[in-house]
Structure 1
Amino acid sequence: MLNLAEQWGWTDNDTETHLGKLLKQMIDESDPKLPFRYIKLDEVASRAKINSPPLMTMMSALNKKLMQSICWIWLLQEGYAVSRSHIASNAIKTNCPMAVSIRIAKELQQC
């Protein structure tokens, strides 16, 4: 898609970088496992009565990636599909239920 945008003259150096990031994010969001909705991490934090978890930390926790915290290195075995949302900078798309998202956010807060 980015190549087509370049061919059609829609980009220059500044917009090409931004457009490339946006297209990659939208491709990530198109995972068929992901629902149409998105979850704002502020809402998760509000329901959990904690500070909002960092976006990348929450995404890593949901997606089984190895995470490094100040306390130690640990691995969460959740295995949900997750992507950043292009709609809001502090939002994710995930097939994880809100209740589980709240539990994970609370666990992350304790590190």
Structure 2
Amino acid sequence: MDISLDRKTCTAIDKGIAGKFEQISIVLKESGLYIQAVDKSKSIVVDHYIDRMVLDPYTAESEGTTIPYTKFLLKGMERLTIARKGELLKMTWAGEGFFLEKHLYTLDFEWTEV
């Protein structure tokens, strides 16, 4: 997985999955970016979709990634880059005078059909 998201897209994602969840699953398909937030203890599943037309170019993948819940939008950021290397997902937020890098171990991929 290797994708770059602008501030507007990160805002849409965070508004679409507002709340606190246990984990997030991300899948890059030909049609766009699919995100699913899950909280098993509360039996809540929220699906969110961003169309490919509003995203920077990327390569679709057959398998997605599941990570612990993480916000996509941070104050002061202009761009979020997500890259997976094996079992590690690197999220990099950047903006004017702002740079934050977070490394997350991926969980077993889960996608709940509703």
TM-score (norm 1): 0.24
Comparing both structures, which one devotes a greater share of its residues to strand?
2
Higher helix share: 1
Q: Normalising by structure 2, what TM-score?
A: 0.24
Q: Tell me which structure has the larger Cα radius of gyration.
A: 1
